[in-house]
């Protein structure tokens, strides 16, 4: 019986706290009232559209229900809500519900990075983010093929890094600049402790450095 009374007391205290919180919100005005209702997730009670939309976004995330995003008035915030749910649910299909290019790009980017899905990178419109997407996945997976999607001035650095990470001299062959290609072979020779790679180096100074390393 004592535990039952204790449970009732706890429920009563929680209910009282909730009622007190709601009452305290209703007694406020303006932005203070909106902020209070935002904290209490009483989205429908919020007058400011921006604050109310932010409240609904958090509510959608809490419920893990993309349908709640439809209650948002501002188009950009509604798209942000879809982007957040797409990431939370790891569901790339939700990116298709986004019309704002910024949030659509973010949606493709985050789902690509989170899953190492370079195919999503190709859907990104912003060039800088497009490059960052392919570069990030290239380094995460050590896939030299993805270096081809980078700007020309970034490709050689991409091949150089991946060749070293994989300890694969053949990747250096994709580097067009002869000196950088030899520097790549030098790095792989050291990483793999393979002196035979020194013979592939054309520049005498670089080859000398390679041979001296193994002496």
pLDDT in tens, 47-95: 788 888 888 999 999 999 999 999 999 999 999 999 999 999 999 999 9
Mean pLDDT of the residues in the chain: 87
Residue where one domain finishes, among candidates 122, 141, 160: 141
The answer to the question of residue 20 being in a domain is: no
Say if residue 162's pLDDT is above 90: yes
The answer to the question of residue 194 being in a domain is: yes
pTM greater than the 0.75 cutoff? yes
Shared domain check, 84 and 133: yes
What is the domain count for the chain? 2
Distance in angstroms (rounded) separating the CA atoms of residues 43 and 38: 6
CB 80 within 8 Å of CB 101? no
The answer to the question of residue 97 being in a domain is: yes
Structure tokens at 213: 């390393």
Containing domain of residue 211, as a range?
143-215
Residue where one domain finishes, among candidates 85, 114, 141: 141
The answer to the question of residue 182 being in a domain is: yes
Shared domain check, 184 and 160: yes
CB 83 within 8 Å of CB 105? no
The answer to the question of residue 30 being in a domain is: no
The answer to the question of residue 25 being in a domain is: no
Q: What is the pLDDT of residue 12?
A: 41
Shared domain check, 133 and 189: no
- Taking the alpha carbons at both ends of the chain, their separation in whole angstroms is 85
The answer to the question of residue 10 being in a domain is: no
The answer to the question of residue 71 being in a domain is: yes
Distance in angstroms (rounded) separating the CA atoms of residues 164 and 152: 20
CB 137 within 8 Å of CB 121? yes
DSSP-assigned letter for residue 181? H
Distance in angstroms (rounded) separating the CA atoms of residues 124 and 131: 9
Say if residue 36's pLDDT is above 80: no
If pLDDT is split at 50, 70 and 90, which confidence band does 21 have? very low
């Amino acid at each position: 019986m004592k535990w039952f009374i204790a449970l009732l007391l706890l429920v009563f205290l929680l209910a009282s706290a909730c009622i007190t919180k709601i009452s305290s919100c209703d007694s406020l005005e303006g932005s203070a009232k909106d902020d209070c209702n935002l904290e209490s997730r009483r989205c429908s009670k919020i007058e400011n559209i921006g604050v109310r939309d932010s409240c609904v976004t958090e509510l959608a995330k809490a419920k893990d229900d993309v349908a709640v995003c439809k209650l948002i008035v501002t188009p950009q915030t509604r798209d942000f809500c879809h982007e957040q749910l797409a990431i939370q649910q790891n569901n790339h299909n939700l990116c298709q519900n986004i019309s704002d290019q910024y949030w659509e790009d973010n949606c493709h980017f985050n789902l690509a990075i989170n899953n190492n899905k370079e195919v999503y990178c190709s859907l990104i419109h912003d060039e800088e983010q497009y490059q960052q997407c392919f570069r990030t996945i290239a380094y995460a997976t050590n896939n030299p093929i993805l270096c081809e999607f980078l700007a020309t001035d970034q490709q050689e650095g991409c091949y150089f890094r991946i060749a070293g990470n994989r300890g694969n001299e053949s990747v250096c062959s994709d580097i067009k600049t002869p000196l950088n290609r030899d520097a790549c072979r030098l790095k792989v020779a050291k990483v793999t402790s393979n002196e035979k790679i020194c013979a592939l180096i054309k520049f005498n100074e670089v080859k000398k450095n390679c041979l001296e390393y193994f002496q």
